[in-house]
Amino acid sequence: LYPEKALGSGAAGKVILQIVVDETGAVEQAEVFKSSPEGLGFAESAKTAVSQWRYEPAYQPTDGDNSMEAVAAYVTVVVKFTAP
């Protein structure tokens, strides 16, 4: 959601996050790498939204056979906000 603090300012925002997607595809951790402009709530809104998203987990080969196993992975996410 567009942050309430930014309403009326007409500001657009961009937030870059580093997240950890666990073996089930859930967001395990979300950290803000960069947010612009600061102080209008874009970082918090992006972090809240991304924490609710679901992803396809990453897979890596298992030892010995040709099967794959789900693993946790780091993902960079960019969230852009435009004024309503």
**Reported pTM:** 0.87
Closest residue by Cα to residue 72 from 84, 56, 83, 50 = 56
| CA 53, 20, 42, 11 torsion-angle sign | negative
What is the pLDDT tens value at each position of the chain, 84 positions in all?
899 888 888 899 999 999 999 999 999 999 999 999 999 999 999 999 999 999 999 999 988 778 999 999 999 999 999 988
